[in-house]
Structure formats: C-alpha cells, structure tokens
C-alpha cells in the first residue's frame, strides 16, 4: 500500500512538470514563423511595387461638359485654342498625383483619336488657371507626363477633386462621334480607367 501511494505521488509530480526545453524551443520557433508569415501577408497587401496598383481603382473622372473655347484664348494660358471644341471633366475620385496619370481619347473603333487640329489636355484649378498641361498634339494621347506652367503644382501634388480636366479636341465637332476618354496609369500605377463616353 505504501509503495502504491509512493508511485501515485511520483506520477502526480510528473504530470505537473512543464514540457521539455527542446519541445518548448520548437514551439516558440513555430509560433514565431507563423506570426512572421501572417505579418508578411498583411504588409504585402498594403504595399505595391511599381505597376501593381490598377489606375481604375485610384482615379476616376466624369461629368463631361461640351463647349467651345472662347475667343482670344490660347492653349498655353487657357488650356484651349479659340474656336476649338472642348470637354471639361470633373475629377470624381482620386488618390493619385499629377505624375501618375496620362490621358487619352479614343474613337468608337477603340483607336486613339487623331484630331483635325492641334489639341491637348490641361488641368485647371478652381479659379480656372492652368496648373498642368500636356504637349499640344493632333494625336489625342499623352506620350509624356504633364508639364507645370506657373509652378503652382508639381509632379508629386495630389490630383484631387479641386481640379478639373479640360480636353481641347481641335476644330472637328466631336458631338455624337462615339469618342471616349480614359486615363492610363504611370509609375506605380498600371492599366487604364474604364472608358468614359464623351457626348
């Protein structure tokens, strides 16, 4: 009976012991690896390398308003040439900078529009002042990022809804032609926005 009590007590003592140091080390390493993997997945989802962020999820323009450029206007100063047909678009949503987008107009066949006369793209502030501008061209697709006349903004300035886009379409009336506008991502943005019909 005494021996039985002794064995019972030693068994209870054995049950109260912690895991061995080797098993504890293996468990700590395994937990650390799992936590590191989870942290890596969370952080890699928040950061993107060059060209990884779709421009369509970061930039959107809308509400195209057709009109004609006023008499006496110049492309450099007003963003359009007198008598040219223009569209003014609002920036609906944007988390990009001025250097992150290039603009283009396409025909109903999906090819870049070649205008009847030199036109281009200007970004205007709320006072109607040109703060950024593309090189004037008959081909309605930017091949370089904006220039910044007047130095009111820079390439790294956020392109927010405080600005509007003015498209100088040239001398040919674009109404009812089935043209569409979209933006192309540059730098850390890729792809294009969905086509926006120009009335």
* Domain residue ranges of the chain, discontinuous segments joined by +: 2-46, 53-197
Protein fold of 53-197: Immunoglobulin-like (2.60.40)
Give the confidence band of 51 by pLDDT, cuts at 50, 70, 90.
very low
The values of phi and psi at residue 4, to 5°, are -60, -45
d(CA 80, CA 184): 22
pLDDT band of residue 15 (cuts 50, 70, 90) is low
Half-sphere exposure at residue 154, Cβ-oriented, CA atoms within 13 angstroms: 1
Q: What is the mean pLDDT of residues 134-160?
A: 93
Count of alpha carbons within 13 Å of 168, Cβ hemisphere only? 33
């Amino acid at each position: 009976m005494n021996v039985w009590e002794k064995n019972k007590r030693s068994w209870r003592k054995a049950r109260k012991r912690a895991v061995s140091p080797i098993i504890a080390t293996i468990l700590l390493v395994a937990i650390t690896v799992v936590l590191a993997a989870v942290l890596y997945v969370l952080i890699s989802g928040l950061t993107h390398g060059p060209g990884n962020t779709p421009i369509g999820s970061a930039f959107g323009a809308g509400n195209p308003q057709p009109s004609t450029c006023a008499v006496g206007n110049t492309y450099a100063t007003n963003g359009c040439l007198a008598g040219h047909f223009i569209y003014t678009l609002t920036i609906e949503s944007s988390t990009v900078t001025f250097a992150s987008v290039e603009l283009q107009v396409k025909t109903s066949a999906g090819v870049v529009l070649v205008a009847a006369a030199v036109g281009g793209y200007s970004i205007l502030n709320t006072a109607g002042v040109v703060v950024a501008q593309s090189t004037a061209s008959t081909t309605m697709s930017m091949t370089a990022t904006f220039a910044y006349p007047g130095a009111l903004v820079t390439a790294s300035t956020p392109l927010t809804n405080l600005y509007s886009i003015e498209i100088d379409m040239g001398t040919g009336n674009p109404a009812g032609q089935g043209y569409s506008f979209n933006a192309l991502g540059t730098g850390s943005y890729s792809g294009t926005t969905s086509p926006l019909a120009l009335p």
